[in-house]
Structure 1
Amino acid sequence: MNRSLRWRVALLASAAWLLPATSSATGSNPPPFQQTTCSFSGMVDELRAALKTGSPAYRKYVKARLKTAARVMPADELIGAVQQERDPDVLEALGAALADKSSFSEDSALVQSLLTRASSDTDPALRAASVRALRGIGSVDSIAKNGNVVTYEQLIRDSAPEVRQAVVENLVHENAKVYFGHDKTVSETAVATALASKDPEAAAKLLSEVSMERVGHETVERLRQQLRTDHPGLRAASATALGGVPGAEAGSTRQTLVELYRTDKDPAVRKAALQGIARLGMGSAQSALESLRGVAPGLDPEIDAWQSALKLGLQEWHLLLREKERIRK
């Protein structure tokens, strides 16, 4: 069976549930099958219509069916469509199917057309759509296997905020949903991307929301250097990130955060430092927190809340954080 026929068979299988039901109990005869043409252009036309007027469930279905068919269809048609598409929503859906095919076939070269559009298209909406299409796969690895010709560090410097937002959301999603916070390369790429950014808010979101549990010493040092930046939001995000560094870095990092709390005058930065100290120490953070009582009297209730939460002996960070917030209310 050639490739063209194989992907058409896959498409028909994915749509089998749409065939009319028959009932042998009533004795009714099923309607005869009718010959139809299943073409890629027809799929794109249906996708385009669904994205404009279809219900959310139908749009989801059409996108999923396209991904299923794309896994076995010839890549050339899909790449050509990605290169020519001018509607951002359609481009994102086509690109997501191409990215999924790339991941499924372990052929990273397939995403190069997306990276090219993400970096060079004149329309920022299409650049952003091309970036978003990479979400949900191991995009950091795919970018590296394409020779780092286009990287997230480059894309985060895009003049369009929607492109920068797409980069941030890709890395946050990949860290949390693809690797569950356990991939060193993704975490270090997120830090490098944040530090390459000229957008403090985008950088802060990356640093505060990406897991740092596997980063190396050099990355920890780069985070410490960010505690001296002029932007308080970025200082706070760096303190939050430092709270999640590996155990081997915990002792020295805790002292760094203690000193940050004593010297930084911004309340948000100080609160982030307290959170980082609590996270690094978990059960052993009590003395470090107590040593800071009275440094900023207005934040002593924050110290009290952390100490009360720590006494519960919770071992999962998200549970401890939730309990602390409950106490603080």
Structure 2
Amino acid sequence: MNRPLRWRVALLASAAWLLPVTASAAGNEPPLRATTCSFTGMLDELRAALKTGSPAYRKYVKERLKIAARVMPAEELLAAVQRERDPDVLEALGGAVAGKASFSEDASLIQPLLARAASDSDPALRAAAVRGLKGTGSVDAMGKNGNVVTYDQLIRDSAPEVRQAVVENLVHENAKVYFGHDKTVSETAVATALASRDPEAAAKLLSEVSMEQVGHETVEKLRGNLRTDHPGLRAASASALGGVPGAEATSTRRSLVDLYRTDKDPAVRKAALQGIARLGMGGASATLESLRGVAPGMDAEIDAWQAALKLGLQEWHLLLREKERIRK
């Protein structure tokens, strides 16, 4: 479908959302007519819905704005982003802007949103601007804007709600936009985690973002993080290393074995075993057995992995689920 036609289709779709939704029970009212709805009117309805509407209605008005934004003049939408002071409304406007940027293939449209995410004086508005990018190809869009604002900058924000929004965006983008298959998003998540001064935020990124496409340099950075002073970060790095590409498996396995033998923290040792099991899947049994007795208190964890591996499961999430079931 060519672009002008696609815009007309989007406009018709957005117009359909604007039709009245009530009718007379008696059936003798004048026939329903399509009505014109200004952007200001849509914004007023959005504001009211976000304050008092049901979850379904809030979703409806946000989705309607996204559809309408595809064909409305960018200047009006961007001006609203720049002046908005309500975090919930700003997040919805941000989602509309990000959607329009993707639809029109014009990444420059998100610049006002990035500016607010980086420099607004109100942390709630900074977080809202970040959340507005959720569910889009935001890493790619930031790159097309010259990486003037990046996630590894935003993760250093002093406000925890901003850092949380960064983590949620990257985890969601990795899992729901690219389904774990985008190298740039995964490597951005690692870089963002390593730039963070918030160990919990960094650990969540490392443990929940797919590493199946990362390059050698990123794997080396993860290995280096096994020596960090924070046990939660060591554990998260060990878990992340379990998912690296097959070409990195042999050297990574050695690093995880060394970690298990030398680290005294039980959570780190548990994560090292998980990383070893994931790297080797069916072939991990011998490596795991070689670690029996190193930390007698962890031998039950090795037993659980060995029992799960014998089931011959080929999907990692199924193997992990069975191991946890056995360990209970």
TM range (shorter): over 0.9
In structure 2, what residue type is equivalent to 1:134?
Answer: L
1:215-257 CA deviation, whole Å, 9 max, x = no partner?
0000000000000000000000000000000000001111110
Question: By how many angstroms is 1:8 displaced?
Answer: 6.8
Sort the Cα spacing of 1:34 and 1:288 in 2 relative to 1 into closer, same or farther, 3 A: closer
Question: How many residues align structurally?
Answer: 323
Could you tell me how far apart the structure 2 residues matched to 1:225 and 1:295 are?
23
Partner of 1:160: 159
Could you tell me how far apart the structure 2 residues matched to 1:261 and 1:82 are?
50
Question: By how many angstroms is 1:310 displaced?
Answer: 0.5
Q: Percent identity?
A: 79
Partner of 2:90: 91
Question: By how many angstroms is 1:31 displaced?
Answer: 1.9
Partner of 2:233: 234
Aligned partner of 1:18 among 21, 24, 45: 21
Could you tell me how far apart the structure 1 residues matched to 2:317 and 2:287 are?
21
Contact 1:102–1:109 (CA under 8 A) maintained in structure 2: yes
Contact 1:14–1:68 (CA under 8 A) maintained in structure 2: no
1:266-301 CA deviation, whole Å, 9 max, x = no partner?
000000000000000000000000000001111100
Question: By how many angstroms is 1:5 displaced?
Answer: 10
Contact 1:7–1:70 (CA under 8 A) maintained in structure 2: no
Contact 2:219–2:244 (CA under 8 A) maintained in structure 1: yes
Partner of 2:281: 282
Question: By how many angstroms is 1:104 displaced?
Answer: 1.1
TM-score by length of 1: 0.94
In structure 2, what residue type is equivalent to 1:320?
Answer: L
Partner of 2:40: 41
Partner of 1:109: 108
In structure 2, what residue type is equivalent to 1:230?
Answer: D
Contact 2:207–2:236 (CA under 8 A) maintained in structure 1: yes
Contact 1:8–1:38 (CA under 8 A) maintained in structure 2: no
Partner of 1:118: 117
In structure 2, what residue type is equivalent to 1:272?
Answer: A
1:145-177 CA deviation, whole Å, 9 max, x = no partner?
000000001000000000001000000000000
Partner of 2:60: 61
Q: Which runs of 5+ in 2 are unaligned?
A: none
SS at match of 1:163: helix
SS at match of 2:291: coil
Could you tell me how far apart the structure 1 residues matched to 2:261 and 2:33 are?
77
Q: Superposed, which structure 2 residues align to 1:68-83 within 5 Å?
A: 68-83=67-82
Q: Superposed, which structure 2 residues align to 1:308-327 within 5 Å?
A: 308-327=307-326
Could you tell me how far apart the structure 2 residues matched to 1:8 and 1:223 are?
47
In structure 2, what residue type is equivalent to 1:286?
Answer: S
Partner of 2:136: 137
Could you tell me how far apart the structure 1 residues matched to 2:280 and 2:32 are?
68
Partner of 1:171: 170
Contact 1:182–1:214 (CA under 8 A) maintained in structure 2: yes
SS at match of 2:133: coil
Contact 2:235–2:268 (CA under 8 A) maintained in structure 1: yes
Question: By how many angstroms is 1:11 displaced?
Answer: 3.2
RMSD value over aligned CA atoms?
2.0
Could you tell me how far apart the structure 1 residues matched to 2:20 and 2:293 are?
67
Contact 1:200–1:234 (CA under 8 A) maintained in structure 2: yes
Partner of 2:190: 191
Question: By how many angstroms is 1:96 displaced?
Answer: 0.5
Contact 1:158–1:164 (CA under 8 A) maintained in structure 2: yes
Question: By how many angstroms is 1:7 displaced?
Answer: 7.8
SS at match of 2:44: helix
Could you tell me how far apart the structure 1 residues matched to 2:148 and 2:88 are?
25
Contact 2:134–2:169 (CA under 8 A) maintained in structure 1: yes
**Do residues 291 (structure 1) and 290 (structure 2) align?**
yes
Could you tell me how far apart the structure 1 residues matched to 2:280 and 2:35 are?
65
Sort the Cα spacing of 1:147 and 1:87 in 2 relative to 1 into closer, same or farther, 3 A: same
Question: By how many angstroms is 1:21 displaced?
Answer: 8.3
1:54-73 CA deviation, whole Å, 9 max, x = no partner?
01111011111111111111
Could you tell me how far apart the structure 1 residues matched to 2:163 and 2:204 are?
11
In structure 2, what residue type is equivalent to 1:149?
Answer: V
Question: By how many angstroms is 1:30 displaced?
Answer: 6.4
Sort the Cα spacing of 1:32 and 1:213 in 2 relative to 1 into closer, same or farther, 3 A: same
Partner of 1:250: 249
Q: Which runs of 5+ in 1 are unaligned?
A: none
